Amino acid sequence: MLTVLLQQGINGIVVGSLYVLVALGLTLIYGVLVQINFAHADIVTLGAFAAYFFTHAFGGSYLASIGIALVVGGALGWLINAAIFAPLRDRGSELLPLIATIGVSIMLQNAMLAWFGPIPYAFDTPYSEHVIRIGSTFFTVQSVLIIIVSTTTIGLLYAFMKFTFLGKALRAVSQDRETAGLMGINPNYLIMLTFVIASALAGMGGALLGPVLVMTPFAGTSVIVKAFAIVIIGGFGNVEGTIIAGLLVGLIESYTTQFLDPGLIDIVVFALLLLMLAVRPTGLIAEKREENV
């Protein structure tokens, strides 16, 4: 039993690390703008396809494809901010950018359906076939890579937010945009940077998720639903809460698969979400605007 618990714990940390990467992007955008980008799911999908075609069509290495997906995601984030959020930000309605990103999401999904077709893609990497055994537990090199890349990225993001000038300026914009502007900070630049970072994380998450999921133009949708649940459970706009909630959801999924039924995963996760909303609607770590992001 101890071996089973340890094995499923490893699997849960791997899945949870991927969820955290995707959910952190949603958290950053909400923490700064109090807005939700519904096209975030499609950036995850495009990141996965960018990595897939870089490795399979152009013969690139998988490690390099993660960087390609990061760049593709960041570029899409910059474009969505410039074309959608920036023009609509000061129109007096918070619903306008929200509705616009739903339209962008539908457009991107149908574009990918036209480009890539409805047939699922299998994204195989050289790391998926190498298995490491330690005692009675085993895991692939791909799983180790996911944990290393995710942990490193999360750590760098946390250090950036807490200890760099740009990170502190971004937190200032999230607390009070007007006051930050009066202090010499350019809010528009920081908002653009937020979108680029958030979308780059989504693209990287897609590259890491591609070998785990069956890739279709709608692959990111299933992941983003979990990411929304994680953001709410962790506390909307709170980075630390998102990290804890992402790992928690990954572990819950893993143990549900082992001890209950894989078909009950979504039921258990969203039952936790409803319980959290009923008992502690502020999330695991209560949202405080002065401490957000």
DSSP string, 177-191: HHHHHHTT--HHHHH
Burial 76-107 (b: 16+ CB within 10 A, else e): bbbebbeebbeebbeeeeeeebeebbeebbee
Quote the pLDDT of residue 183.
Answer: 80
Q: Is 181 exposed, middle or buried (0-12, 13-18, 19+ CB in 10 A)?
A: middle
Share of the chain above pLDDT 70, in %: 96
- How sure is the predictor about 123, in pLDDT bands with cuts at 50, 70 and 90? confident
Rg (CA), the chain: 19
pLDDT 10s digits, 22-37: 999 888 888 887 788 8
pLDDT of residue 247: 92
Q: What is the pLDDT of residues 215-238, one digit of tens each?
A: 889 888 888 888 888 988 888 778
Q: Does the structure show a pLDDT above 80 at 57?
A: yes
Q: Where is average pLDDT lowest: 7-16, 82-91, 156-165?
A: 82-91
Displacement of CA 164 from its chain's centroid (Å): 22
Report pLDDT digits (tens) over 172-199: 888 877 887 878 888 889 889 999 999 9
The SS3 of residue 131 is strand
- Residue 59 is classified by DSSP as -
The mean pLDDT of the chain is 86
Inter-residue contact 169 to 187 (CB < 8 Å): no
pLDDT tier, 288 (very low <50, low <70, confident <90, very high otherwise)? low
Q: Which residues pair with 182 in a beta bridge?
A: none
Domains of the chain (ranges plus CATH)? 2-279 (1.10.3470)
Tens digits of residue pLDDT in 243-278? 999 999 999 988 888 888 877 888 888 888 888 888
How far apart are alpha carbons 115 and 107 in whole angstroms? Answer: 12
DSSP category for residue 237? T
Whether 285 has a pLDDT exceeding 80, the answer reads no
pLDDT of amino acid 114: 92
pTM of the model: 0.89
Q: What is the pLDDT of residue 202?
A: 93
DSSP codes joined into one string, 98-141 = HHHHHHHHHHHHHHHHHHH-SS-B----TTSS-EEEETTEEEEH
